[in-house]
Structure 1
């Protein structure tokens, strides 16, 4: 039995397809299949039901896979112990970031962090929350930046900042005449939203929930990217909501759209740093978090008079 064989069966379980698992493991399918057959022969059991599509683990296969993940996680810690000594700040640090945070937060702290810690290799993966949590659970990620609570005893979170929502309105929108928006205003208009799976979409829907139920407003789903929604607004179509950090990359005097903040209590989201419970990279994690905090304006560190949408 080898660690490589264990990696292959975990890959097959993850992708539920031998060819895809081989591709993601950077080997040919015959190589992966041969190694899994060898492992099955050695153990004297069948790990996968190959008659089904997608392929699924057998009952004994599920138990073997659970243990394989534990073995692989523990094996990774051997190199971590050497690489991430108490006095050392070096090595690879893998971070998952949700798409509505990544382009607006990472540029704020990346340069200063890498300047202060040139021996740390940061690897960012832009993913939805569910994928990031899976990555933390499987130890494929060292940390995640998310904007929803976590109900998992194996994952810890620390608050980073509280971020207000802001309206992004076309020039001809009736709400542009208001100095500040209120949550009640949102019942008067359709709002462009992200596709399902984005926590920012879910939070926007929660803000609009009561108004939508009362007025029967139509909600339109168009994109997985905030920048695309902004472009729709700039083409004189309706409005959308943006995280406050996204507005800092927009021109308040744009000829195509207007940014409007909310009156108190301001609807906002809480952005969190998530990481695994057993963590050998506390030194990097601590510096990473502090670097983020130092990059933020005071506005985002003060949650007074704000309405957190979870």
Structure 2
């Protein structure tokens, strides 16, 4: 390739194999060409009025397990040629994968930012403070923000949007974030709350789901305080399947809204 292009693409003086500056630029352009080729194939499939093949679908683990099971079965019956390759991951990292073409579509909490992405707002998901069932505030008729001052809240890895949201909520309530006990999933947070480690703020779809639920915890309703998160879908705006991804996003939106009713 170097002979055909008349340029040095690999730095042979380095201890490890590294691309030269022109090599890096050519590699990035080659990736975009490969994306265009794949989009051409997708465009041909779309001309047959069906979404077929594998859709590499990114979703945050704080949402996917509690929303997608209600959708996948019906979707498979309607579009038997469609396969969802689902990857749980950190939303910020998945947005980069989307731009680079390693994902076709993603669903997660806002904001989702990236070059040439189309972002569709789907729904607003309420979030609720939960406590161990033997907590002194459980059963209280009126809970004021000041009643939560000094309480300790569990959260996830700092790379999650969820972590930043819990931080903001704790700042509003005068509460503390338990950095030493970060959960690896909503299930682990749920279980730690149930065992008395601390309080948490859990999404509504999790609390209503069969795989999540609120069996170990009790909800706390705080006067004049609400919390929610905006869920969006995103895909590459120039993708040949952009229309199909929008239709899939709208299907997810409708199912989520029905679950939240």
Place the TM-score, normalised by the shorter chain, in its bin.
0.7 to 0.9
Instruction: Name 1:47's counterpart in structure 2.
Output: 10
Superposition deviation, residue 71 in structure 1: 1.5
Superposition deviation, residue 277 in structure 1: 1.2
Unaligned runs of 5+ in 1: 1-38, 302-310
Higher relative contact order, structure no. (Cα contacts within 8 Å, ≥ 6 residues apart): 2
Q: Give the alignment's TM-score, normalised by structure 2.
A: 0.86
2:226 corresponds to which of 252, 266, 273: 266
Distance 2:213 2:53 in 1: 38
Distance 1:118 1:169 in 2: 43
2:69 corresponds to which of 107, 127, 135: 107
2:152 corresponds to which of 165, 190, 208: 190
- The structure-2 alpha-carbon separation of the partners of 1:102 and 1:49, relative to structure 1 and needing over 3 Å to count, comes to farther
Residues 108 and 232 of structure 2 are in contact (CA less than 8 Å); yes or no, is this contact kept in structure 1? yes
1:219 corresponds to which of 152, 164, 178: 178
Distance 1:269 1:279 in 2: 27
- The structure-2 alpha-carbon separation of the partners of 1:281 and 1:261, relative to structure 1 and needing over 3 Å to count, comes to farther
Residues 95 and 113 of structure 2 are in contact (CA less than 8 Å); yes or no, is this contact kept in structure 1? no
Q: Give the alignment's TM-score, normalised by structure 1.
A: 0.74
- The structure-2 alpha-carbon separation of the partners of 1:180 and 1:137, relative to structure 1 and needing over 3 Å to count, comes to farther
Distance 1:209 1:178 in 2: 23
SS of the aligned residue for 2:87 comes to strand
When the two chains are superposed, the root-mean-square deviation of aligned CA atoms in Å is 2.6
Instruction: Name 2:255's counterpart in structure 1.
Output: 295
Distance 1:172 1:95 in 2: 40
Structure that is richer in helix per residue: 1
Distance 2:148 2:41 in 1: 52
Residues 161 and 300 of structure 1 are in contact (CA less than 8 Å); yes or no, is this contact kept in structure 2? no
Distance 1:263 1:86 in 2: 54
- The structure-2 alpha-carbon separation of the partners of 1:202 and 1:116, relative to structure 1 and needing over 3 Å to count, comes to same
Instruction: Name 1:285's counterpart in structure 2.
Output: 245
Superposition deviation, residue 263 in structure 1: 4.6
- The structure-2 alpha-carbon separation of the partners of 1:232 and 1:76, relative to structure 1 and needing over 3 Å to count, comes to same
Unaligned runs of 5+ in 2: none
- The structure-2 alpha-carbon separation of the partners of 1:251 and 1:136, relative to structure 1 and needing over 3 Å to count, comes to closer
1:160 corresponds to which of 114, 119, 122: 122
- The structure-2 alpha-carbon separation of the partners of 1:171 and 1:111, relative to structure 1 and needing over 3 Å to count, comes to same
Distance 1:180 1:57 in 2: 64
Question: Does 1:144 find its partner at 2:97?
Answer: no
